[in-house]
Chain A
Amino acid sequence: MADIAQDIPVATQAPPRHSSGALGWLRANLFSSVFNSILTLLAVALIAAVVPPVIRWALIDAIWSAPNGAACHGGGACWAFIGEKLRFILFGRYPIDQDWRPIGVVVIFLLMILAACDRRLWGRRLALLWFFGLSAVWILMAGGILGLSSVETALWSGLPLTLILAVVGMVFGFPLGILLALGRRSKLPAVRVICVGYIELVRGVPLITVLFMASLLLPLFLPAGVTIDKVLRAQIAFILFAAAYLAEVIRGGLQALPKGQVEAADALGLSYIQRTRLIVLPQALALVIPPLVNTFIGMFKDTSLVVIVSLFDLLGAAEFALTDANWQGFAVEAYVFVAVIYWCFCFFMSRYSQLLEREFNRGRRR
């Protein structure tokens, strides 16, 4: 005989008031123990101490328009300074009448990056798109053909320069990084030693050293009389630097690839190049897309270092804007503005990378 049997279900009840709803949430998340309650109070005190003064400085007391620097002091933030210098910070010393060209360049870059986020385009179409995109960027910035007036690279500055240095660095550093990663895993000792040597050398020294090397030593390395312009020197430095870091990321992907893939390719009779191009690389690269995006984010932030070798990227242009005798003393406003621009780029790219990582993990977990 059964001790208990019931076919009539117990009615669903609502949870007790103190453990659900808004009160329950507060109790569980903010006041679950004495220690937590103290922390909550401290956190609230911190917010109350910091946020209102910042809002007052940034919004309430801020001065939004002023004729010159002297008139802009004495209140909160001087956003008039940003208004005055906006064009300079964004585009630097590029000729003002040709402004549509750097604007076009920034738009093209944004479109290229957005296109890269669309999974359906990955593959040959994306490569083609980027090739045309970069060519268009080059033509727009340099000019000299198609009826555009020529603009020397010394005048390239601001946001376009930042984007060019970062993107071109990654685009050219990528194939070099692949070669280095493959070389590092090669069975031929001479190749392996040279690749390891290069990677460890470049990864072991600060980026500033590589930039110094490029800007001070490259002219010496070239035959007498051959000059190389400053932007190109910095670009080469970024390419060499990116190649070493990308090589390590790609090496991680190559190591994570199951050995069975290589064995299957060999069993099918594929040569080394065929096996690498058709089987190994596509899979290895797909495995490490999130770290690749993270490397790009790092490179984007690192372009700010070119101000040390006297190039005017976004940060450099802001630094230069601060030297205007009429507008003195607005360093905080300038840095906050530039920080917001960098932050937007980097934050959304890192969110995208996290999204990719989640999707890839979902597909991988069995």
Chain B
Amino acid sequence: MSETAAITASMPEKTPATVIELQAVHKWYGEFHVLRDINLQVAKGEKVVVCGPSGSGKSTMIRCINRLEEHQQGRIVVAGIELNADVKNIEAIRREVGMVFQQFNLFPHLTVLQNLTLAPIWVRKLPKKEAEETARYYLERVRIPDQADKYPGQLSGGQQQRVAIARSLCMKPEIMLFDEPTSALDPEMIKEVLDVMIGLAEEGMTMVCVTHEMGFARTVADMMVFMDRGEVIERAPPKDFFSNPQSDRTRSFLSQILAH
């Protein structure tokens, strides 16, 4: 039995409200082994922050959760649905999982309001009026209610990312994934986006967040996950993770990232 299997076997029973589960997940790009034996569980309402050096596979891992990347071995279960090649399963999972990208990826040919109502109308099949009401509600929540009729190209980076968060929220997902949401922002705009994310966390949203913002992690995370070279090296609550890292590699990474 591998080390990891032994550790997994000795872990406490999963709580019934596990919404994301990765079991022995492996992924290869050609011959390159990019994810090695990933085991992860996320409970409902839990906020998990994934960190690690670049190339460690953290983005790849969370992109496997909504099938933007395919895993070749192992099992992934999201919101009780098995993630495999079955298109119906993939679509069901994507309805319940919202994703915020580093590059925002707003649709430039649609207004902000149209960006937000696109998926509710076409995927959840809501009437236009209801979709627009929801959209305006979430625009209010991310604090840019007056930009509804503008185009993404007319907004600042921070505003665009907040619109992107609102766009995912309009689908009322169970889980929100964040792939380095503030890495492409100018420093003065990072706070406005992190504030929105903190607000979301306080309301009980299940979040998996890949980020370098350690201050945010300390405030919000229930669990820190450190990945390096495709493996999960360490997993601990923030207070233990930052003050008493167990692994050498974790220690070395933290010393670099917290130096300034």
Q: Whole-angstrom distance from the CB of A25 to the nearest CB of chain B?
A: 9
Give Cα A261 to B246, complex, Å: 56
User: A10 touching B37 by the CB < 8 A rule?
Assistant: yes
Given contacts A1-B236, A6-B233, contact A19 B7 (CB under 8 A): no
A5–B233 CB distance below 8 A: yes
Quick check: B73 and A16 within 8 Å, CB to CB?
A: yes
| Most chain B C-beta atoms within 10 Å of own C-beta, residue among A4, A13, A15, A20 | A4
Task: In the complex, identify which listed stretch (B24-32, B61-69, B194-202) lies at the interface while the others stay far away.
Answer: B24-32
Q: A2–B246 contact, CB under 8 A?
A: yes
**Shortest distance from the beta carbon of A64 to any chain B beta carbon, whole Å:** 46
Taking a contact as CB atoms under 8 Å apart, the answer to whether B234 and A5 are in contact is: yes
| Interface size of A in residues (CB-CB distance below 8 Å) | 17
The residue in chain B whose Cβ has the minimal distance to the Cβ of A9 is B231
Q: Are A12 and B236 in contact (CB under 8 A)?
A: no
- CA of A19 to CA of B247 in the docked complex: distance in angstroms? 33
Contact present for A10 and B234 (CB under 8 Å): no
Query: Is the pair B7, A12 in contact by a Cβ cutoff of 8 Å?
Result: no
Say if the beta carbon of A23 comes within 8 Å of chain B: no
Q: Are B33 and A13 in contact (CB under 8 A)?
A: yes
Q: In the complex, what residues of A have CB within 8 A of residue B212's CB?
A: none
Contact of A118 with B by CB under 8 A: no
Q: Is the CB of A2 within 8 A of B33?
A: no
- Tell me whether A10 and B36 are in contact in the complex, defined as CB-CB below 8 angstroms, given that A4-B234, A5-B233 are known contacts: yes
In the bound complex, CA of A214 to CA of B7 (Å): 86
Q: Is B4 an interface residue (CB 8 A)?
A: yes
- Would you call B231 and A20 a contact (CB within 8 A)? no
Min C-beta distance of A108 to chain B, whole Å? 48
* Distance of B53 from chain A, by nearest CB (Å): 14
Given A5-B246, A12-B36, A20 and B28 contact (CB-CB distance below 8 Å): yes
- Chain B residues with CB under 8 Å of A16's CB are 72-73
| Complex CA distance for A5 and B244, rounded to whole angstroms | 12
Q: Does B44 contact A (CB under 8 A)?
A: no
Q: Of B11, B229, B241, which one neighbours A9 at CB under 8 angstroms?
A: B229
Interface hits, B204-260 → A, CB 8 Å: 229-236, 240-241, 244-250
Answer yes or no: A3 CB below 8 A from chain B CBs: yes
Q: Which residues of A contact B2 (CB under 8 A)?
A: 10
* A122, chain B: closest CB distance, angstroms: 36
CB within 8 Å for A7 and B249 given contacts A1-B236, A16-B72, A19-B72: yes
Q: Mark B123-148, 1 if CB is under 8 A from A, else 0.
A: 00000000000000000000000000
Q: Tell me how far the C-beta of B92 lies from the nearest C-beta in chain A, rounded to whole angstroms.
A: 21
Which of chain A's residues 1-56 have a Cβ closer than 8 Å to chain B? 1-10, 12-16, 19-20
| 1/0 contact string of B11-34 vs chain A (CB within 8 Å) | 100000000000000101011010
Check B240 against A2 for contact (C-beta < 8 Å). yes
Within 8 A of A (CB), among B29-59: 30-31, 33, 36-37, 39
User: Known contacts A13-B33, A15-B33, A20-B28: does B247 contact A5 (CB below 8 Å)?
Assistant: yes
- Contact partners of A4 in chain B: CB under 8 A: 7, 39, 232, 234-235
Chain A residues, Cβ within 8 Å of B241: 2
Contact A2 B235 (CB under 8 A): yes
CA distance A7 to B11 in the complex (A): 18
- Name the contact of B236 in the complex, choosing from A3, A13, A15 (C-beta under 8 A): A3
* Chain A contacts for B232, CB-based, 8 A: 4
Most buried by B among A5, A12, A20: A5
Give every chain B residue within 8 A of A6 (Cβ-Cβ). Answer: 3-4, 7, 231, 233-234, 247
Q: How far is the CA of A9 from the CA of B31 in the complex (A)?
A: 18
Chain A residues whose CB sits within 8 angstroms of the CB of B234 once the complex forms: 2, 4-6
B26 partner residues in chain A, CB cutoff 8 A: 13, 15
A27 to chain B, nearest CB (A): 12
Q: Which residues of B contact A12 (CB under 8 A)?
A: 33, 36
Contact indicator B235/A15 (Cβ below 8 Å): no
Q: Given A2-B235, A2-B246, are A15 and B31 also a contact pair (CB < 8 Å)?
A: yes
Least distance between B145 CB and chain A CB atoms (Å) = 34
| Chain B residue contacts of A10, Cβ below 8 A | 2-4, 36-37, 230-231
C-alpha spacing A12/B26, complex, angstroms? 10
Q: Which residues of A have CB within 8 Å of B31?
A: 14-15, 20
Interface-centre pick from B3, B28, B230, B247 (highest chain A CB count, 10 A): B28
Q: Bound state CA distance, A15 and B27, in angstroms?
A: 8
Bound-complex Cα distance A19 to B70 (A): 11
> In chain B, what residue has the closest Cβ to A5?
B246
Closest A residue, CB atoms, query B229? A9
CA distance A13 to B25 in the complex (A): 12
Interface residue from A3, A19, A20 paired with B235 (Cβ < 8 Å): A3
A15 to B4, Cβ gap below 8 A?
A: no
B26, closest chain A residue (CB): A13
Tell me, rounded to whole Å, the shortest Cβ–Cβ distance linking A26 to chain B: 14
CA distance A19 to B4 in the complex (A): 24
On chain B, the residues within 8 Å of A1 by CB distance are 236, 240
Q: What chain A residues lie within 8 Å of B4 (beta carbons)?
A: 6, 10
14 additional A-B residue pairs with CB within 8 Å, beyond A5-B246, A9-B231: A1-B236, A2-B246, A4-B7, A4-B232, A4-B234, A5-B247, A7-B233, A7-B249, A10-B2, A10-B37, A10-B230, A12-B36, A15-B33, A15-B72
Task: Show 17 A/B contacts (Cβ-Cβ < 8 Å), sorted by A.
Answer: A1-B240, A2-B240, A2-B245, A2-B246, A3-B235, A5-B246, A6-B247, A7-B249, A9-B231, A10-B4, A10-B36, A10-B230, A13-B26, A13-B33, A15-B26, A19-B28, A20-B28
Would you list the 10 A-B pairs with minimal beta carbon distance, nearest first? A5-B246, A15-B28, A2-B236, A4-B235, A10-B36, A2-B246, A10-B37, A3-B235, A5-B234, A5-B247
